[in-house]
Amino acid sequence: MSRIDDIIADFEFIDDWEERYRYIIELGRALEPLSESDHSDMNKVRGCASQVWLLTHRATVDGSTVLTFSGDSDAHIVRGLVAIVIAIFSGKSPEAVLATDPEPIFDRLQLREHITPQRSNGVKSMILRIKADAEAALAR
């Protein structure tokens, strides 16, 4: 799984948006595949034009709760966007997930200007789902 700092550095190195799209697709290809059983209605993210599935994994590390995420999509670009969202939020405490504002990262990557409004809404739906899962983890 890529770290968001690495993704940002790679984006800054790539000038051409066609190359950036290819890089986003490669990020998606690098995601660990989900099992068929994980492609369930329970894991499906509502509000995405493409099909997107997200799973939240909870672990205790040094006495603290850490959330990691895995995901998949049936569309290549969207799968890459899933990888970017996972890189932003994975490996953080529920509190840190809730405190993370991804907008400055999206601005830096210029994603909003280069993805369709439907995909942008899908990214927003993924983020809302991740934050809802972080709230649920805090409630436990």
* Residue 39 · residue 53 · CB < 8 Å: yes
What's the pLDDT score for residue 14?
A: 95
Examine the residue annotation and report whether 101 is marked as an active-site residue of this protein: no
CATH class for the region spanning 4-139: alpha beta
Q: Does the structure show a pLDDT above 60 at 106?
A: yes
- Which segments of the chain are extended strands (E)? 52-61, 64-73
Which residues, 6+ apart, have CB-to-CB distance to 132 below 8 Å? none
The amino acid present at 113, given as its one-letter code, is: E
Residue ranges per structural domain of the chain: 4-139
CA angle centred on 105, ends 103 and 106, rounded to 5°: 65
How much is the pTM?
0.95
Confidence class of residue 2 from pLDDT cuts 50, 70 and 90?
low
Q: Tell me, what's the pLDDT at 61?
A: 87
pLDDT of residue 16: 93
| Residue 88, amino acid | I
**Residue 69 zone, left/alpha/beta (φ > 0; ψ -120 to 50; rest):** beta
Question: Per the residue annotation, which of 48, 67, 88, 97 is the catalytic one?
Answer: 48
pLDDT tens across 14-35, in order? Answer: 989 999 999 999 999 999 999 9
The string of pLDDT tens digits covering residues 67-94 is: 999 999 999 999 999 999 999 999 999 9
For residues 127 and 117, what is the distance between their CA atoms, to the nearest angstrom?
15
**Mean pLDDT over the full length of the chain:** 94
User: Are 58 and 65 within 8 A, CB to CB?
Assistant: yes
